[in-house]
Structure 1
Amino acid sequence: MKLTIIQTGDVPLRLRDRFGPYHQMFETMFDRTGQGFSYEVVFASDGEPLGDAGALEGVVITGSPAGVYEDHAWLPPLRQFIRQAYEKRVPTLGVCFGHQIMADALGGAVRKSEKGWGLGRHSYAVKARPSYMRAVPEVVSVACSHQDQVITPPAEAEVIMASDFTPNAGLAYRNGAALSFQPHPEFLDDYAVALAELRRGDAPDNVVETAIASIATPSHSAEVAGYIGQFFKGR
């Protein structure tokens, strides 16, 4: 199965030499599931055309420093692409910004949260178990890095993961072919720490220190990646 990775932003320049681009993080994550995916990358935030969503086997929309409420020429085509993929039931995954732009395109509300920065490893209660997540534990811990949040999910979405900080952290859509998460299962621990360090001077010091300390909490990222792999393979 070929996954088309829609890259909507990139690793901060100061970290890129150490950690590479976002699409490679997703490729590595999926390769570790052993599902045998192949990949192509569309650099949407650089203006590359998205093409016909209905002709694709699977879609992954990455994180981004952009906000869905900002004025970027590449955002309206991406929203239309998401709606087309949803209508055609092309399996689609969104992570962080991808989670937010999917919600925005399909009728939800997204904004910068008054709660501030979410950094480091956060824990989320599992609220529902789609068929590809039957084995998921009651709580999963995954790294995150965001200020924006899905405030109101689309009517078509069911909340499957939540926390007090991020009440709409995971969404599964009623067409059975769309899934999104606010946290980043593709992040390795050293990148999550480096990203938190990079926020010094922007996020409060106590938030940064708590984020760095949180990485000692065991991660469920590999398990979540496995559920995502099953989501795609089950289509």
Structure 2
Amino acid sequence: MSSLVIIKTGDAFPEVVDQHGDFEQLFIQQLREALPAPLTITVWDARDQTPAPAPSSFAGVIITGSHSMVSEAPPWSEALKPWLQQALAEDVPMLGVCYGHQLMAAAFDGISDFHPAGRESGTRQVRLTQAGQQDPLFSQLPTCFPAHLTHAQSVMQLPPNTTVLAHNHHDAYQALRYGPRQWSVQFHPEFTVPIMQAYIARQRAALRDQGEDPEALISAVRDTPEATGLLQRFLAFI
């Protein structure tokens, strides 16, 4: 039986975990209904000191978000880089999300670091590039769509041989493709409205410090069906 592995790279805030589930559970909830019968879901916590399974042993890979920072190079995160390089070389389908997005870019010789404009949080508009409009995973999305975002770091330098699929006013690299079936997104397709609102509430002080209105951001949070739909569409490439 083939398995889709969710690589867990961190934990959500305790109140989010208590009310909605941890990062890996949020993905499972969104994927469960569309999961083909032969495919199962496995969770691998990359922070555990256990031998990494071979990438080719999985039918597909999803890499979660994290409150860690890619540029701070935690040892478990650095250990994932050659694993991701091998998975790309073996054409294992991959989808990195937020931290997973930044880590994939760093693993493939890009640079991820703190964004000079500060944190991006809330439901924001993301726009497809021309390449994104023709991409097999993204082409069914409207040219401009809402997505949930919460990040202080971004992909700051593009890896070689990488295609930019989406961007917005804050971030030039909101979605990337590295190979035929290897993508990453800065936004959170697994988030729901209550989860996004909980994250903004947690970040009130930091957002105020950079001149934003947290209450206005909370009020502006809305459903992101187009972004969320990427998760189920990704299953078609496994």
Q: TM-score, normalised by structure 1?
A: 0.91
Provide the residue aligned with 2:121 in structure 1.
Answer: 119
1:5 partner letter: I
Structure-2 residue corresponding to 1:39? 41
CA distance in 1: counterparts of 2:109 and 2:213, whole angstroms: 31
CA separation of 1:116/1:35 partners in 2, compared to 1, >3 Å: closer, same or farther? farther
| Match among 53, 56, 71 for residue 55 of structure 2 | 53
Report if aligned partners of 2:55, 2:83 keep a CA contact under 8 Å in 1: yes
Partner of 1:215: 221
1:179 aligns with 2:183: yes
| Aligned-pair identity (%) | 27
Question: For the residues of structure 2 that align with 1:211 and 1:172, how far apart are their CA atoms?
Answer: 29
For this pair of structures, how many residues does the alignment match?
A: 231
2:189–2:230: 8 Å Cα contact kept in structure 1?
Answer: no
Deviation at 1:54, TM superposition (A): 1.9
What's the offset of the Cα at 1:207? 4.0
Residue pair 1:35, 1:229 contacting (<8 A) in 2 also: no
Residue in structure 1 matched with residue 196 of structure 2 by the alignment = 192
Look up the equivalent residue of 2:16 and give its one-letter code: L
Q: Report SS of the residue matched to 2:141.
A: coil
Match of 2:4 in 1: 3
Q: In the alignment, what sits opposite 2:227?
A: 224
Q: Distance in 2 between matches of 1:48 and 1:197?
A: 35
For the 8 Å contact 2:91–2:181, the answer to whether it is kept is yes
Distance 1:118 1:32 in 2: 30
Question: 68, 71, 78: which is aligned to 1:69?
Answer: 71
State which drifts further: 116-125 or 41-50.
41-50
Cα deviation for residue 116 of structure 1 reads: 1.1
The match for 2:237 is 234
**For structure 2, which runs of at least 5 residues remain unmatched after alignment?**
none
Change (3 A) 1:204 1:46: farther
Q: CA deviation at 1:208?
A: 1.9
Classify the secondary structure of the residue corresponding to 1:10: coil
8 Å contact from structure 1 (residues 119, 143) kept in 2: yes
Are the counterparts in 1 of residues 70 and 77 from structure 2 also a CA contact under 8 Å?
yes
1:48 offset after TM fit, Å? 3.8
Shift of 1:53: 0.9
Report the Cα distance in structure 2 between the residues aligned to 1:117 and 1:207, rounded to whole angstroms: 13
For residue 133 of structure 1, report the CA deviation from its aligned partner.
2.7
Q: Is residue 132 from structure 1 mapped to residue 134 from structure 2 by the alignment?
A: no
The aligned runs of 1:93-112 (5 Å cut-off) are 93-112=95-114
Deviation at 1:35, TM superposition (A): 4.5
Cα root mean square deviation, aligned: 1.8
Contact 1:33 1:225 in 2 (8 A): no
**TM-score when normalising by structure 2:** 0.90
2:175 to 170, 173, 184: 170
